[in-house]
Amino acid sequence: MKTICFFNTAKAWGGGEKWHLEVSQYLNDRGFSVFVIAHPDSVLAAKLSKTNIPFQTIALGNLSFLNPVKRVIVKKTLAKRQLETIVMNLSSDVKIAGPIAKQLGVKRIIYRRGSAIPIKNNRLNRYLFKNVLTEILANSLATKKTINQKNPTLFPKDKITVIHNGIAIPDNLNRISWDNKKHFTLINLGRLEYQKNQTFLIDVAKQLEDRKVEFKMIIGGEGRLRKDLEQKISEFNLRETISMAGFIDNPMEFLKQGDIFLLPSHWEGFGYVLAEAGLCGLPSVAFNISSNPEVIKQNKTGVLTPPNDVDAFVEAILKLSENKEDLIEKGKAAREYIINHFDKAKKLKEIEGYLLHG
């Protein structure tokens, strides 16, 4: 039986790593031959060690493709397997594993692209996309659009497939009852990094405080921005209003504390957390950028605002918060939309069909 290799050497845990773990586990459980390569210091490797999925760790970085020793290690690792397909996660994975997979005669060399950032039109990328990659699997229409944004002929559009991320639909997920809530709660969850733009939420909270709105804000996640966020919260005297919850192991349990989910990301390949919030029955307020309109239906399951417009963002929150019945209805609509469009079981079957049958 030919093997599918999932090649993901990211250290941090994010949507791409979750996808590689879940898809490889699903296919492995279905009896297909899979193999995963991960970074030894990664969350993915730690999670793989608790499964029955065959995997190997290799320490790679962005410039490893220039290191002959690293290339030999990767080539020997891949050559041991009868690979028909390789699915790569990072651009650095593509740089080193893509050409080696081609040398080894791997039939399908797939870049699973999960970031809605335009691909640079440089010589190396032109070589990789025109001569090495056979297909691209994108996680959103927005991601697909950015692939050829800087070079319309970089990659054939008919070789780019879009399959949205799936989300597990629990049998029973109850929100905290409105009547039992002590505070109207605005909630956010994500890595504390520039992309996620949580500093914007502190400006939003400051304006809400200035307008005498009674609320609490909870920001979940860890990352490099934590100290900067805590400093800004102190400077604005918002320590009683905003709480930093740290790393969240169970997103669903965390999100159902909220009344409105807030996502001020500068970009999203696929706003997985928007889907999680919708499944919890929360309407969302987010920027009208990248893939957000694929997850939020404007004024039906949430509100999309111009990017980095504090006034518009605050007005959207106020409009939702002032009508309890409308808020609840939008939350119900969000849940229904996520169940109908992003059911994980259906998405895994779709991915299986794509990987096994082309």
Number of domains composing the chain = 2
pLDDT tens string 288-334: 999 999 999 999 999 999 999 999 999 999 999 999 999 999 999 99
Q: Are residues 261 and 312 in the same domain?
A: yes
> Which residue intervals of the chain are DSSP H helices?
15-29, 43-48, 68-79, 91-103, 123-127, 141-147, 199-210, 226-235, 251-255, 272-279, 292-295, 310-321, 324-341, 344-357
Q: Are residues 139 and 265 in the same domain?
A: no
User: What pTM was computed for the model?
Assistant: 0.86
Using pLDDT thresholds of 50, 70 and 90, give the confidence band for residue 129.
very high
Residue 210 shares a structural domain with residue 97: no
pLDDT, averaged across the chain: 95
Which residue, 272, 269, 319, is CA-closest to 299? Answer: 319
CA distance 93 to 4: 15
Q: Is residue 173 part of a domain?
A: no
Banded model confidence at residue 15, pLDDT cuts 50, 70, 90? confident
pLDDT value of residue 182: 64
Query: Can you give the pLDDT at residue 261?
Result: 98
pLDDT digits (tens, 9 = 90+) for 61-108: 999 999 999 999 999 999 999 999 999 999 999 999 999 999 999 999
How distant, in Å, are the alpha carbons of 32, 198, 278, 345 from that of 295?
31, 20, 9, 18
Are 133 and 27 found together in one domain? yes
- Assess whether 91 and 104 both reside in one domain: yes
Does residue 172 form part of some domain?
A: no
Residues 194 and 264 in one domain: yes
Q: Which residue range is the domain that position 73 belongs to? A: 3-166+343-357
Residues 118 and 258 in one domain: no
Q: What is the pLDDT of residue 144?
A: 96
In the chain, the N- to C-terminal Cα span, in Å, equals: 16
Residues 213 and 317 reside in one and the same domain:
yes
Please state, in angstroms and rounded to a whole number, the distance separating the CA atoms of residues 263 and 261. Answer: 7
Q: Is residue 171 part of a domain?
A: no
Say yes or no: 19 and 136 in one domain.
yes
- 8 Å CB contact between 281 and 331: yes
Q: What is the CATH number for 324? A: 3.40.50.2000
Instruction: Tell me, yes or no, whether 33 lies in a domain.
Output: yes
Instruction: Outline where 245-289 has alpha helix (H).
Output: 251-255, 272-279
Instruction: Specify the pLDDT at position 14.
Output: 83
Please check whether residue 229 lies inside any domain of the structure. Answer: yes
Residue with tokens 């969350």: 43
User: Does residue 19 come out as left (phi exceeding 0), alpha (psi in the -120 to 50 range) or beta?
Assistant: alpha
Any domain includes 146 = yes
Share of the chain above pLDDT 90, in %: 90
Q: Report the candidate in 68, 125, 67, 122 with the shortest Cα–Cα distance to residue 94.
A: 125
Is there a single domain that holds both residue 35 and residue 158? yes
Cβ(151)–Cβ(132) under 8 Å? Answer: no
The CB density around residue 81, as the number of other CB atoms within 10 Å, is 19
For 170-223, the pLDDT digits (tens) are: 876 665 555 556 679 999 999 999 999 999 999 999 999 999 999 999 999 999
Residues 351 and 331 in one domain: no
Whole-number pLDDT of residue 174:
63
Is 220 among the domain residues? Answer: yes
Same domain, 322 and 184: yes
| Mean pLDDT computed over 163-172 | 87
